[in-house]
Amino acid sequence: MFGDYAGTAAAGVLIQHGGNDHPTGLADLQGRRFVVSSETGESGKLNEEQVKALTGGDTITARRMRQDFYQFQPTHQLILQTNHKPRVTGTDDGIWRRIRLIPFTVKFTGNRKDVTLPERLNAELSGILTWAVMGWHWYRAEGFKATPAAVTAATDEYRESSDAIGAFLADCCTVDKALSAKAGDRKS
């Protein structure tokens, strides 16, 4: 439906791993409006620095194989669809204001699975595109007034479950303004 305006990004663009990736993955983002990356695996850790760089509006530097580096302005919206939420170690608002967890809680299996859906959607592509463009114009004029409550709740739970220090404090410490402890008093 979106043609060249949509594309995919390798999970390595958003997920941290051992080696240095070739910047061709970033080159694939140029000119796109809608970019989807899929399946991070169970042990994936979000490359928070990269996510901030790709969503902050700053110029992106990339290159194709055996070509010189070049720069471009980001035009894309990134979507990461995965069964396994990537680990997020940052607790700052800089990373969490970029993350929205959209829960998909319904499974379409058995007789609920519509095997004709791709053909039916294909038959309505022009109407779907019109609907998307109208939505874009509405968004540009009005903006989003509020994030849906289900998305806010899921994102807040994700953030809380990602906070290892917060979990330690909740599980192992008594927090009260009247209490204090000296660093030298801690038990080994």
Residue type, 24: T
pLDDT at 126: 93
Number of separate domains in the chain: 1
Average pLDDT of the residues in 23-33:
88
Q: Model pTM?
A: 0.79
127, burial (CB in 10 Å: exposed 0-12, middle 13-18, buried 19+): exposed
* Domain presence at residue 183: no
Distance between CA atoms of residues 185 and 156, nearest Å? 34
In this predicted structure, which of 9-13, 56-60, 96-100 has the lowest mean pLDDT? 9-13
Does some domain include residue 181? no
Enclosing domain of residue 88: 3-174
Q: Are 24 and 62 in contact (CB under 8 A)?
A: yes
Report the chain's mean pLDDT, rounded to a whole number: 88
Residue 47 falls inside a structural domain: yes
pLDDT at 21: 64
Residue 59 per-residue DSSP state: P
Determine, yes or no, domain membership for 179: no
Q: Is the per-residue pLDDT at 179 higher than 90? A: no
In a domain, 185, yes or no: no
User: Count of alpha carbons within 13 Å of 81, Cβ hemisphere only?
Assistant: 8
Query: Does 74 map to a domain?
Result: yes
Q: Is residue 102 domain-resident?
A: yes
- Checking if the pLDDT of 188 tops 70, the result is no
Structure tokens given for 118: 């791709």
Quick: pLDDT tens for 122-164: 999 999 999 999 998 998 898 877 889 999 999 999 999 999 8
pLDDT band at 31 (very low <50, low <70, confident <90, very high): very high
| 188 falls within a domain | no
